[in-house]
Structure 1
Amino acid sequence: MQILPSASLAPYIKSYTVVTIDNDLRDEVFYPSGYIDLIINISGGAAATIINGKRKDTPDIELLGHLTLPTRLTVAQGTSVLIARIYPYAGTLFFSDPLSEFTNYATDMYDVAKSGSTDLYDRIMFADSLYKKINILEAYFLQQLKKNENRVKKAIMVQALSQQFLMNHHTLDLPALAQASGLSERYIQKLYLTNVGISPSAFAAVIRFNKSLQMVLNTPESLTTIAYDCGYYDQAHFIKEFKKFTGITPSVSRQSLIKNDMDLQQAVNIGF
């Protein structure tokens, strides 16, 4: 189930999604999305994230930063989570630390802001309907947005820069981007590391990967066709990059989606 944010938060938050796992999942591949996810366990069920081979049990509230490493999920049957999917440029508006602190890590929000996170979780769990839970979460986001309103200008700047290379077939020419924007390459690098959590080139690679992922999962196109359509040098380059993000090849990903339950994949896959 997916719910859109209020008009005030729509520029910064893509959606709220509730996912309930019907069957135990073990080592399910979790694809890098290009988004930041605030994940709230609203069922008390058990789950764990395995990033680059390191397992971390899912806490009450977890911030999943940008992923550029192989990641897997293990989730017990009956677990329900509420996911707030935050646009890649907007995370800095809601969380105080530089976004690079959260990259390739599932962060327990109690370790970041214990009292505020505990209060938020308690109020969400006390609410007796999904819409009330989301209203509480929206109030929290609006409070954080007001607190960090001085960061909005830079967030919008990163959004505009990203749109430029998104329109350029998901490839990045940093010198050209710097010239067109009137900003130095060094400043653009700093903007991305602080506001997105990864470099411009890493972000472009994640976006290109997601374009290829959608084609792998939703079309019968050959890997060679997908590689060229998504701007990779050749099929070998595409397979290498895909495996770097997921730990598996595109063909294995396509086969596993056919075999496995699709609800979780639909929740974590993306579209810009």
Structure 2
Amino acid sequence: MQILPSASLAPYIKNYTVVTIDKNLENEVFYPSGYVDFIVNISEGDAATIINGRRKDTPAIELLGHLTLPTRLSVKKDTSVLIARIFPHASTLFFSDPLSEFTNYATDMYDVAKSENRELYSRMMEANGLDSKIRILENYFLLQLKKNETQLKKVNTLQLLSQKIFNEHSQLDLPTLAKDSGLSERYIQKLYLNNIGISPSAFTSVFRFNKSLQLVLNTSESLTEIAYDCGYYDQAHFIKEFRKFTGITPSASRASLIKNDTDFQQAVNIGF
């Protein structure tokens, strides 16, 4: 189930998604989405994130930063989570720490601001119904937005830069991007690392990966066709990049979805 945010938050949050697991899942592939996910466990269920082989149990509230490493999830049946998917350019409006500190990591938000997030979780769990829980979460985000409104100029700059990358069909030409925007290459690099959490080149790679992923999972195109459609040098380059992010090949990903199509996969394995 996906729910759109309020008009005030729509430029910064893509959607809210409720995922309820109807069977035990072990080592489920979790694809890099290009987004930052704020995850609230709204059930008594158990889950764990395994990033680059390191397992971390999912806490009450978790921030899943940008992923560029192989990632898996293990989830117990009947676990329900509410995910707020935040646009890559907007995360700095809600979290004051440099976003690079969250990259390839599942952070317990009690470690970031314990009293604030404990109060948020308590209020959400006491609320009756999903709509009420989301209203409480939205009020939290609106409060953070007000606190960090001085970051809006950087957020708008990042959005424009990222849109240029999207329009260039998955290729990054940093010198041209700098020249067109009137910014230095060094500043753009710093802007992405501090406010998105990954470099412009890594961001471009994640975008290109997600473009290819949609074709792998939703079409019958050959891997060679997908490679060229998405701007890879050749099929070998495509497979290498795909495995870098997921630990599996595109063919294995396609076969896995056909064999084991779950609500979880449909809900969270959706990127740009």
Q: TM-score range by the shorter chain?
A: over 0.9
- Alpha carbons 2:34, 2:203 under 8 Å: kept: yes
What number of residue pairs does the alignment pair up?
272
The offset of 1:268, in angstroms, is: 1.2
In structure 2, give the amino acid aligned to 1:25. Answer: L
In structure 2, give the amino acid aligned to 1:178. Answer: A
Show the counterpart of 2:220: 220
User: SS where residue 255 of structure 1 aligns?
Assistant: helix
Q: Take 2:171 and 2:141, find their aligned partners in 1: how far apart are those partners?
A: 32
The offset of 1:165, in angstroms, is: 1.1
Q: Take 2:124 and 2:62, find their aligned partners in 1: how far apart are those partners?
A: 14
The offset of 1:261, in angstroms, is: 3.2
Show the counterpart of 2:14: 14
Q: Take 2:157 and 2:12, find their aligned partners in 1: how far apart are those partners?
A: 13
- Alpha carbons 2:32, 2:271 under 8 Å: kept: no
1:182 paired with 2:187, answer: no
Calculate percent identity across the aligned residue pairs: 76
Query: Mean Cα displacement is larger for which, 253-262 or 127-136?
Result: 253-262
The gaps in structure 1 that reach 5 residues or longer are none
1:153 paired with 2:185, answer: no
In structure 1, give the amino acid aligned to 2:97. Answer: D
Q: CA RMSD in A?
A: 0.6
Q: Take 2:109 and 2:39, find their aligned partners in 1: how far apart are those partners?
A: 10
Show the counterpart of 2:111: 111
Q: TM-score w.r.t. structure 2 length?
A: 0.99
The gaps in structure 2 that reach 5 residues or longer are none
| CA shift digits 1:167-208 (9 cap, x unpaired) | 110111000000000000000000000110000000000000
Q: Take 1:144 and 1:59, find their aligned partners in 2: how far apart are those partners?
A: 21
Show the counterpart of 1:252: 252
| CA shift digits 1:188-241 (9 cap, x unpaired) | 000000110000000000000000000000000000000000000000000000
The offset of 1:8, in angstroms, is: 0.2
The offset of 1:96, in angstroms, is: 1.1
In structure 2, give the amino acid aligned to 1:88. Answer: P
C-alpha distance 52-72 of structure 1, shift in aligned 2 (>3 A): same
The offset of 1:271, in angstroms, is: 4.5
Q: TM-score w.r.t. structure 1 length?
A: 0.99
The offset of 1:262, in angstroms, is: 2.4
Show the counterpart of 1:140: 140
User: SS where residue 110 of structure 1 aligns?
Assistant: coil
Which aligned segments of 4 or more residues in structure 1 are displaced greater than 6 angstroms? Answer: none
